[in-house]
Amino acid sequence: MTQQQDLPPQARVIQMLEQFWLARSVAVAARLGLADVLAQRSRTVSELAEATGTHAPSLSRLVRAMVAYGVFREEGSEPRIALTELGETLVSDRPGSMRELLMTLIAGEHYRAWGDLDQSIRSGRTAFDIHYGTDIWTWYRQHPEAGEEFNRTMVAATAAVNQAVIEVYDFRRFRHIVDVGGGHGSLLRLALEQNPAARGTLFDQPGVIAEARGVIAAAGLAGRVELSGGSFFESIPAGGDAYLMKYILHDWDDAKCGMILANVRKAIADGGTLLVFDTVIPPPGTPDFSVLMDLNMMAMTGGRERTEPELRDLLGRTGFALRRVLPTQSHVSITEADPM
């Protein structure tokens, strides 16, 4: 594909449109489970349509696009459709699978909420709230199947981030690591693996902690990890010398973040360290994942991604001094802060 800067401006706009259509098409292929069927063996389009309960002439048009962009490939004279290396990432339940991510973020409730992004910008309200009449967290409680899909998406999406964090950050100086809103403890488990002398506390909503119990036990960490359920808007387990918050602050506006950080400040041990794992918006004019993720937060949760100065100010107002922002090989940076 031609580099954008080499194209006239009208062609660049068309290329942006093309990327939207392509992302939506790949998400539909993921939702239909095409890669799961092709992972078993190659199929003709008719066989693929029969296996997925789809309309063969319409499916053939989607498959043609997937072949054109390297998601699927044709083989043999019939031809038969097979997976490429890129298509393998759409297969469910494989390490590094992107299927759940695509289904959640470019289909379903996220896709529909983005349709009201203009109303967010006109009104200052969250697009999801406008479209569904309630906030995303309440909606997921009301629609548990969608909520479970979202949770699976978050688990899958964080695997690569966790590995990137472990590769650049040394957790071995800590004695007690508290993972705030840590889900099933995927990052905490890696930090404790790196630091066998430390113990951990996994803190999240009671329902999430109930699900995490078996995961922690299966990892052989039941004796090293305390499980604690509650709301980080009310209180946070005390006494840790490291507090981890991955994908937490970006979900909330400054007022809500202030409440969370104030509770961390009350809980953290003297000389402790706060570690925030979110994207950090670069200087103006820099194309970056973070500026689009910021729009996603405006559409979905009412939260935001932040620049380094914005993080410094937010942390300073809640009793923390930003020490450094450490990039990783993922889209997430590590913001390290000390209690003042």
- Domain annotation covers residue 223: yes
Distance between start and end Cα atoms, the chain: 51
Among the candidates 73, 90, 107, a domain finishes at 90
> With a cut of 50, which residues of the chain have pLDDT below it?
1-2
Q: What is the pLDDT of residue 4?
A: 61
Question: Do 175 and 322 reside in the same domain of the chain?
Answer: yes
Amino acid at 142: Q
Paired sense of beta strands 320-327 and 306-307, if any: unpaired
Q: What is the pLDDT of residue 148?
A: 85
Paired sense of beta strands 199-204 and 176-180, if any: parallel
CB atoms near residue 124 (< 10 Å): 9
Question: Do 36 and 180 reside in the same domain of the chain?
Answer: no
Residue range 66-100, pLDDT digits in tens: 999 999 999 988 899 999 999 999 999 888 888 98
Residue range 204-231, pLDDT digits in tens: 999 899 999 999 999 999 999 999 999 9
Plot region of 107 (φ>0 → left; ψ -120 to 50 → alpha; else → beta): beta
- Domain annotation covers residue 132: no
- Domain annotation covers residue 210: yes
Here the contacts of 83-90 (C-beta below 8 Å, separation 24 or greater) are 83/35, 83/38, 83/39, 87/35, 87/38, 88/35, 88/39, 90/26, 90/29, 90/30, 90/34, 90/35, 90/36
Per the CB < 8 A criterion, the answer to whether 127 and 296 are in contact is no
Question: Do 77 and 156 reside in the same domain of the chain?
Answer: no
Q: What is the pLDDT of residue 153?
A: 82
Per the CB < 8 A criterion, the answer to whether 59 and 52 are in contact is yes
- Reduced to 3 states, what is the DSSP secondary structure of residue 112? helix
Q: Exposure of 282 by Cβ count < 10 A (0-12 exposed, 13-18 middle, 19+ buried)? A: middle
CATH number (domain holding residue 46): 1.10.10.10
Question: Do 185 and 265 reside in the same domain of the chain?
Answer: yes
Cα–Cα distances (Å) from 35 to 25, 116, 330, in that order, read 13, 31, 25
Measuring CA to CA, which residue among 257, 246, 260 is closest to residue 304? 257
- Domain annotation covers residue 130: no
Among the candidates 50, 65, 90, a domain finishes at 90
- Catalytic residue chosen out of the listed positions 143, 176, 250, 331: 250
> Looking at the chain, which runs of residues are DSSP E strands?
72-75, 80-83, 176-180, 199-204, 225-229, 242-246, 273-278, 280-281, 306-307, 320-327, 333-339
- Domain annotation covers residue 115: no
- Domain annotation covers residue 127: no
Question: Do 309 and 174 reside in the same domain of the chain?
Answer: yes
- Domain annotation covers residue 103: no
Residue 40 CB-half CA count within 13 A: 9
- Domain annotation covers residue 311: yes
The domain total for the chain is 2
Per the CB < 8 A criterion, the answer to whether 162 and 183 are in contact is no
Question: Do 233 and 315 reside in the same domain of the chain?
Answer: yes
Respond yes or no: is residue 110 known to be catalytic. no
Question: Do 182 and 246 reside in the same domain of the chain?
Answer: yes
Among the candidates 90, 119, 152, a domain finishes at 90
CATH number (domain holding residue 290): 3.40.50.150
**308 is in which domain, residue-wise?**
143-339
Question: Do 218 and 309 reside in the same domain of the chain?
Answer: yes
Question: Do 83 and 188 reside in the same domain of the chain?
Answer: no
- Reduced to 3 states, what is the DSSP secondary structure of residue 134? coil
